[in-house]
Every structure is written in structure tokens, then in C-alpha cells.
Amino acid sequence: MESTTVQLTQPKHKKFAYAITDRELRILTLNGAVNLFNCDQTSNPAESLLSLTPELNGHEQAFAEILAGERPALELSWVERKLAPGQRMYLNMVVKPYRDSKTGKITGLIYLIDDVTEWGAVEQNLIHERNALQLQQKRPAPRPINWPPKARRTKTGVIFRTIHRLLWFASGNAVHKPLPG
């Protein structure tokens, strides 16, 4: 089998990192924006992948299936990591088998982590706006007031009808239903 070397470069506008592990999930190589892991440049590289990325805890069965060649990958999208109060980070994570370049045997895992916080914030805003719009559309429209004939002619009646129309438009209704009279 021919050996291929892949050079990962990091665009200036994007943060990503990768880790290569052995079969026991001990990290052999850590590269890229290591702050995406729960570590820094001085961390012990032989630490477990699970200790540096707590979001992967609970996926041990998937790792076993990947290491056995029964599963091609584990992909986790839009994983939310809470930082300081009120701060969040959104991550995409992919775990794939890491193969020996000479034998082709699976010798560990390669874990890719991508910071998609900017897109996550946009996605959250879109969800919020969509939910607000749905709530607004489900709200029943105010019933038109059936003004008595005398109220239609007086100054007070005109003022009340004007206020009613203003409230109708302020409620976000795009269609104006004329009031009687």
C-alpha cells in the first residue's frame, strides 16, 4: 500500500484541530488549535482523548466499532460547549479510523474538531426568530369592535377607532381589516 502524507493547514478565519490516538485512546499527536481541547500546549500528549474532550464520553461503543472496522465514523454536529457564564462555543466533531500507512490496519483513531461558533450563533438566532414568528402567527387576531352608530360619529368614537387600528397594526398583523362605519 502506498503511503500518503496529508498536510493540514489552518485558515486564518477558522479554528480546527486534530488528534491521533492509539487503540486505547491515548493521544499520540495533537495539532492545530489545541485550545479546542480542554488543554494547552503543555498538556501531557499521552492523555486520554476522553479526558481532553468530555463531549465524547458515552460514545465508547462507537469507538470500539470504529476500531473494529464495523463503523466508518462518528460525527457529532453543533455540539455546544459552555465556557464562562453566558458564553458558548459550537463544535463539529468527527472520529474516524487511523490506519497504518504500510499495513492498512487500524491502529487508532483520528479525531477532528472544528470550531463553528459563528455559524452556531447564526443558527441559534434563526431558530429564535422562527420560533418567535410561529408564536406570533398562532396568536389570535383581535376581534374588530362593532361600534354603535353614535360612537362612529363622535370625536371620542373616532379616537377609539384610531387607537384600535393602531393597536391592530402594532400587533404585527400585515392585513388591515376595515372597521365598520
What distance in Å separates the CA atoms of residue 22 and residue 42, rounded to the nearest whole number?
20
Give the chain's mean pLDDT: 75
Average pLDDT over residues 14-18: 81
Average pLDDT over residues 49-71: 91
Q: Could you tell me which CATH class the domain 15-121 is placed in?
A: alpha beta
Average pLDDT over residues 68-87: 87
The answer to whether the CB of 145 falls within 8 A of the CB of 46 is no
Neighbour tally for 91: CB within 10 Å: 21
The answer to whether the CB of 34 falls within 8 A of the CB of 40 is yes
Of the two residues 20 and 125, the one the predictor is more confident about is: 20
Q: What are phi and psi of 53, to 5 degrees?
A: -140, 85
Q: What are phi and psi of 60, to 5 degrees?
A: -60, -35
For the chain, the farthest-separated pair of C-alpha atoms sits apart, in whole angstroms, at 95
C-alpha cell at 156: 371620542
pLDDT score recorded for residue 80: 81
The answer to whether the CB of 75 falls within 8 A of the CB of 111 is no
pLDDT score recorded for residue 22: 93
DSSP letter string, 14-77:
-EEEEEEE-TT-BEEEEEE-GGGTT--TTS-TTSBHHHH-GGGTT-HHHHHHHHTTS-S-EEEE
Average pLDDT over residues 149-175: 57
What is the share, in percent, of the chain residues with pLDDT greater than 90?
Answer: 24
What distance in Å separates the CA atoms of residue 118 and residue 129, rounded to the nearest whole number?
17
Average pLDDT over residues 91-103: 92
What distance in Å separates the CA atoms of residue 11 and residue 17, rounded to the nearest whole number?
12
C-alpha cell at 84: 464562562
Start and end residues for every CATH 3.30.450.20 domain found in the chain: 15-121
pLDDT score recorded for residue 137: 72
Confidence (pTM): 0.59
